[in-house]
Amino acid sequence: MKIGVLKTDDVRKELVDEFGEYPEMFADLLRSQDPALAFSTYEVQHGHYPDRIDEVDAYLITGSKAGVYDHKDWISPLMDFVRKLHEAKKPTIGICFGHQLIAQALGGKTCKSDKGWGLGVHTYEMQETPSWMSEPMAKFSLLVTHQDQVETLPPGGRVLASSEFCPMAMLQVDDHMLSFQAHPEFSKPYSHSLMELRREAFGEALVEKGQISLQNDIHENVVAKWMLEFLRR
């Protein structure tokens, strides 16, 4: 399987030497489940798209510091491309910004949440166990860094997992789009470094709470398995 990574941001320059760019994080995560996977990266933030939708088997949209409602010249074309993927029923996964963008592009709504920033390890409860999921869990935990949230589902969307902080944390749209608010590609050391780097922006109390949460388990490998099961169905 070849996965096209739609890259919507760059890792902070202070962290990239140690942790790599987002496509590398996703490749490491997913190859832990299947070393034979191939990847192509498309810098959609700079207007780079595949020549043909079918030059890869599936797509993955990364996270970004941008908001889907921002007036950046690359966001509207990306929404158009997501609508093309949807029309073609192309298997697609969205992470954080990608999760929010899929919802927004297909008729839902994403907003800056009045709950503020989510940082560190968050836990979600499954609301529905889809038939494609071979290793279901009642709850799972992942790393997060977000203040925007999906607030209205797009047509054909359903909530697979939620939390009190993030009611629409894992969504499926029809049979070909799956998205997560959290970051299965993040490692705890990366999350720790990111929180430290942005301590002033996040606030001391929230960063301390987020750092303490890193003691909790995360289930990135289970979620990676879910992602590949969904893309291969």
Rounded CA-CA distance 181/150 in Å is 9
Alpha helices, DSSP H, located in 32-128? 75-87, 97-105
Euclidean distance between the first and the last CA atom of the chain, given in angstroms as a whole number: 12
Using CB atoms within 10 Å of the CB of residue 33, give its burial: 0 to 12 exposed, 13 to 18 middle, 19+ buried. middle
3 state DSSP class of 84: helix
Nearest 10 degrees: CA dihedral of 136, 141, 142, 143? 170
The residues assigned a catalytic role are 96, 183, 185
For 91, phi and psi rounded to 5 degrees? Answer: -60, 125
Rounded CA-CA distance 21/113 in Å is 27
Using CB atoms within 10 Å of the CB of residue 37, give its burial: 0 to 12 exposed, 13 to 18 middle, 19+ buried. middle
Using CB atoms within 10 Å of the CB of residue 131, give its burial: 0 to 12 exposed, 13 to 18 middle, 19+ buried. exposed
